[in-house]
Amino acid sequence: MMNNKKTSDDFLIRPLPNVERDKCTQLILNEDSWNRVINALANSPEPNAKLKLAARRLQRLEF
């Protein structure tokens, strides 16, 4: 039986181009926090109605 659980090795982490660095904030995480983020990404639930509505509203915003 295959294990479908994702690990940090499954996520590509790469630096952003210089142009994009001015638009973001860098976070430095300890190991526990890093593992929590990766776990949340790997095991995220299906989007519900509230999340879908929020995504549609976000897409309409201009940055």
- pLDDT tens across 1-37, in order? 445 555 555 555 666 566 555 666 778 889 999 999 9
Domain presence at residue 5: no
Domain presence at residue 45: yes
Specify whether the CB–CB gap between 41 and 8 falls below 8 A.
no
pLDDT recorded at residue 5: 56
pLDDT recorded at residue 50: 95
User: Which of 12, 6, 2, 3 lies closest to 38, judged by CA?
Assistant: 6
Domain presence at residue 43: yes
With cut-offs at 50, 70 and 90, classify the pLDDT of residue 49: very high
Structural domain count of the chain: 1
Domain hosting 36: range is 10-60
Domain presence at residue 1: no
Q: H-type helices in the chain, by residue range?
A: 18-21, 31-42, 49-60
